[in-house]
Structure 1
Amino acid sequence: MKATSSTSHPAKAPHAHSGLWAANELRRRIAEGELLPGDKLSEQTLAESLGLSRNTLRESFTLLNSELIITRIPNRGVFVASPDADDVREIYAVRRTVEPACLAWGQDIDLDRLGKIIEEARTGLAAGDVPRMANANQAFHKQLVASSDSELLQELMSRVLARMRLVFHAMSDAPDFHSHYVERNANLLAMLRAGERLEAAQTLRGYLDTAEAELLSHIAQRPE
């Protein structure tokens, strides 16, 4: 049953009392790069833009804080988190468990959709457009997990992708990072099209190991 929309917030009123919906929306904005590490989250501005009460927004902050996506700093406010090496290790531990399993045993891998994402990534690569490549990479891995047909796994992946976006921001001074993975993703798709799902899963595990090592190396070299 559809709830009646309000005039001031037609798209959001059905969720006006849901801290969970607000958390999902903020997580999406972080995953898509609309909110960046260190950004301060204004309660008043966000509450107005989302059509929520400030109490409901605070519920979403509590959830995102527990996921380490935002950070509460006493007497200063709420900020989008800036991941460190431990965060990277945790993220990749989850990814190595979930994503290869979806490649190997996912019920419905949308090869056409993955192909369109690869086209988008290659367009970004040709243009030297790092945000476009990063967005395509996020979309590719999100689509892999969508093949599980599990809402729980997809919700978990949305949290992982939000934290990954924050990690990717740390690589903003290493523009070649994303370019390395455009053809790696294309190779995974070629293997899936050939029916080599177990091989693709094993390849992805190695790919994730490489990405983790590269990220950790870069973080270690950052000035304190």
Structure 2
Amino acid sequence: MTAEVSGLAADRALLGRSSTAERVADVLRTRISEGYFPPGTRLAEDAIGGALAVSRNTLREAFRLLTHERLLTHELNRGVFVRVLSVEDVTDIYRVRRLIECAAVRDLTAPPSGLDRVMSAVKAGEEAASSSDWLALGTANIRFHQAIAALAGSPRVDELMRGLLAELRLVFHVMSDPRRFHEPYLLRNGEIAAAISVGDGPRAEGMLAAYLKDAEDQLVGAYGELNPA
């Protein structure tokens, strides 16, 4: 059993006695968003099904759900793999993120009810950076943006962002130096959170739009370095 798969055994309790394909998919989606399954990883049915104690049929349905979300891909006679994203995927992800996240803060005029979740993600990022845990810093960054989107107060937006940010985590693997990529954005997270905390929606939106543009440019540039014209 690989190191990536062995960690799933601890998630078995999350499934409960009435485990479903949706719950299995949620566990795997979370693991992908936390960076435990890099792009191109083959997901072995026997190992994962055993770790989660679920049937082959349930696992295959979970794989189907995540394939529909563009997180996995099925290759004939080879199996199921974590998807490798293209530069076109990156630009589309950031296009959608700007639509969602900027709109979530634009009209704020007072501290929102979801502020604690935003501040908690910033603190988690600071703690990860202080211990030089760059994988955890990437996860904290994703949770920060989940909390931003959650300010919209829409379960549908929350669901969309979970899948979108799991895809984004697959993009992060293109960066050869995760510290260099993630650490500068930690300070910017704090600045955006400060604007949100005083209900300055327009300022938060402006900073967030610039932040997303800079991150997109860095990631697109990294793809260009991997695949020069």
Paired position in structure 2 for 1:70: 72
Deviation at 1:160, TM superposition (A): 0.8
Aligned with residue 27 of structure 1, among 26, 29, 39: 29
SS of the counterpart of 2:77?
A: coil
Which residues of 2 match residues 51-200 of structure 1 at below 5 A?
Answer: 51-105=53-107, 108-200=112-204
Report percent identity of matched pairs. 35
TM-score normalised over the length of structure 2: 0.85
> Is the CA contact 1:108–1:149 (under 8 Å) kept in the aligned structure 2?
no
Paired position in structure 1 for 2:15: 12
Deviation at 1:117, TM superposition (A): 2.3
What residue identity is the alignment partner of 1:73? E
What residue identity is the alignment partner of 2:165? L
SS of the counterpart of 1:82?
A: coil
Deviation at 1:96, TM superposition (A): 0.6
Paired position in structure 2 for 1:4: none
1:201 and 2:202 are equivalent in the alignment: no
Deviation at 1:11, TM superposition (A): 4.3
User: How many residue pairs align between the two structures?
Assistant: 215
Paired position in structure 1 for 2:221: 217
SS of the counterpart of 1:20?
A: helix
Distance in 1 separating the partners of 2:90 and 2:28: 20
Distance in 2 separating the partners of 1:40 and 1:15: 27
Deviation at 1:105, TM superposition (A): 4.2
Distance in 2 separating the partners of 1:73 and 1:185: 39
What residue identity is the alignment partner of 2:135? P
Paired position in structure 2 for 1:46: 48
Deviation at 1:129, TM superposition (A): 2.8
Structure 2 alignment gaps of length 5 or more: 1-11
What residue identity is the alignment partner of 1:12? L
